[in-house]
Amino acid sequence: MDMDIKQEYDWLRDFHGCDGGDIGSPEKSSVWVCGIEWGGGHTVENLRQIAAEPYTGDTDFGYEAWQECVDCPYNISVCKLLTALNGGQVEDYRRFAEEVQPFVHKAGSGYFKMNLYPIAFKNTDAGLWQQEFSEITGFADKQEYVNFCNRYRFAEMNAWVEKYRPRLIIGFGTSYDNEFNAAFSDGFRSFKQEEIAGKKLKWKRNENGTLLAVLPFPSGSHGLNSNVSLQKFGERLAELLVNKE
């Protein structure tokens, strides 16, 4: 599929699928938190509006209030992890969210929230792709859409890393390590792997200094489903940022 990519699929290369916050800069680097895709599910009308939008590259957006940072189990787990990353205790996650306001628009928090893929689905099941989605996007099924994102969107995301130079990118979903690698790594090193609280942490460092860490998803029997695991993972990430291993 080598049509005029930039015109027809601008929306796939833009910051759709991101909640925003403070994307940072080389002079004031941020921490990026990346999931797979939004939950909940886009409606056909939502998707039609998004697909019609031109590419802007706009990063000036985010949550309206700090309470949104703790409004669902996923966000709570993220804030717990970030609390530990900052030297705190996960139990104080609400205080962290209120004081730091990660992902809040104009807060200048040093945190930016995003996803690998821009279309929202209730889960990653390919069967949730609707016929209307094909008519709007031009993709026959979800796999074709995913393949396209892996080739073109990830190349754009890789350029974001070079432009904004985050100090740390946290990716949730260890089975998606290849995708996180394609989106955020410069490809010069392979992942190192270690076990923390019985869970796997994969990490590597780009030549530009960005640390890419891939963690288990914060739910499920194999996920970061306890305060203990979130605390230990946050503390380990803090060590990696300081020690430059």
Buried/exposed code over 105-114 (b: 16+ C-beta within 10 A; e: otherwise): bebebbbbbb
Long-range contacts of 153-158 (CB under 8 A, 24+ apart): 153/12, 153/13, 153/116, 153/117, 153/118, 153/183, 154/116, 154/179, 154/182, 154/183, 156/13, 157/116, 157/183, 157/184, 158/182, 158/183, 158/184, 158/185, 158/186
pLDDT confidence bin for 38, thresholds 50/70/90:
low
Q: Which CATH number fits domain 10-242: 3.30.450, 3.40.470, 3.40.1130, 1.10.357?
A: 3.40.470
Side chain identity at 5, as an amino acid letter? I
The answer, yes or no, to whether residue 85 has pLDDT greater than 90, is yes
Question: Tokens 């800069």 identify what position?
Answer: 25
pLDDT confidence bin for 6, thresholds 50/70/90:
very low
Provide mean pLDDT across the span 97-112: 97
Look at 29-38, 95-104, 138-147, 210-219 and tell me which has the smallest mean pLDDT: 138-147
What CA–CA distance (Å, rounded) separates 86 from 106? 20
pLDDT confidence bin for 5, thresholds 50/70/90:
very low
pLDDT digits 0-9 by tens, 44-67: 777 787 777 777 889 999 999 999
Average pLDDT, the chain: 89
List the 31-35 sheet strands across, edge first: 20-21, 111-115, 31-35, 168-172, 211-215, 199-205, 192-196
> Global pTM?
0.91
The answer, yes or no, to whether residue 42 has pLDDT greater than 60, is no
- Which residues, listed in sequence order, are joined to residue 32 by a DSSP beta bridge? 112, 169
